[in-house]
Structure 1
Amino acid sequence: MKKIISTSKAPSAIGPYSQANFVNGVLYISGQIPFNTETNKLEEGIEKATHQVMKNLEAILTEAGLTFGHVVKATIFLKNMDDFAAMNDIYASYLVADSYPARETVQVSCLPRNADIEISMIAHQF
């Protein structure tokens, strides 16, 4: 059975998709950009942007009753691969060190709202 997960603590979908779908214990989280729902603005600069994306992802995980410790897969899209090191340090600070998820990071030419970063995740309810 599919359950739609939605929270006002993360950006609303700007298209025909859900923030996340929970299916058979697996949570599929749509890509999150650094939109701050408190200020209604996009966070700029890779450090602030990465923190905001991780906060958005955490809000969705929490709404589903999960944590970053449940994340098994992440996909990271960067506008500039030169931002990798700064993003990677911040990203790692939110995760459980002995159980990092599988991941790929790719550079893309453009992201929604011209964001610098977007991250999607898959989490599993153990």
Structure 2
Amino acid sequence: MQLIHTTNAPAPGGHYSQASRVGDFVFTAGQIGVDPSTGETPSDFREEVRQSLKNLKAVLAESGAEIGDVVRTMCLLTDIESFAIFNEEYAAFFGDHKPARSTFGIALAGGFTVEVEAIAFVGDK
């Protein structure tokens, strides 16, 4: 197992890695909407979603994966009523690529409103 770390995404806030690569697969931890250069979280939900997805992209890139390699995501929202906004940003981010996805309404630690994790397949690279 190769542990992945990049300064282009927020550092883990606990005892875990940003991602791990095992064979042909990359498993990311949930990425929150913190800007790694400032440590700030946007106050606007849409912007927090965008930052979360940007952080996911950075972690994937560090592991040798791209957005098109993602086969599954798990998305956590503190307010499931915000799903429509989340889905707009998610769709814009992934474009024509449509990985399998689960989305849950749940309480998140730290006051964050969104978290996205992914599994990517990099075996054909």
TM-score in terms of structure 1 length: 0.93
Give the equivalent residue in structure 1 for 2:103: 105
After TM superposition, the runs of 4+ consecutive aligned structure 1 residues lying more than 6 A away are none
Q: Report if the CA contact (8 A) 1:69-1:96 is conserved.
A: no
CA displacement 1:86-108 (0-9 Å, x = unmatched): 110111111141x3110110101
Residue 77 (structure 1) aligned with residue 76 (structure 2)? yes
Equivalenced residue count is: 123
Which among 111, 115, 120 is matched to residue 114 of structure 1? Answer: 111
Secondary structure at the aligned position of 1:34 is classed as coil
Deviation at residue 116 of structure 1 after TM alignment = 0.6
> Where in structure 2 are there 5+ consecutive unaligned residues?
none
Q: Which one-letter code corresponds to 2:45 in the other structure?
A: I
RMSD: 1.0
Equivalent-residue separation in structure 1 for 2:95 and 2:63 (angstroms):
18
More strand by share: 1
TM-score in terms of structure 2 length: 0.94
Deviation at residue 42 of structure 1 after TM alignment = 1.4
CA displacement 1:72-120 (0-9 Å, x = unmatched): 01001001111101110111111141x3110110101x21211010111
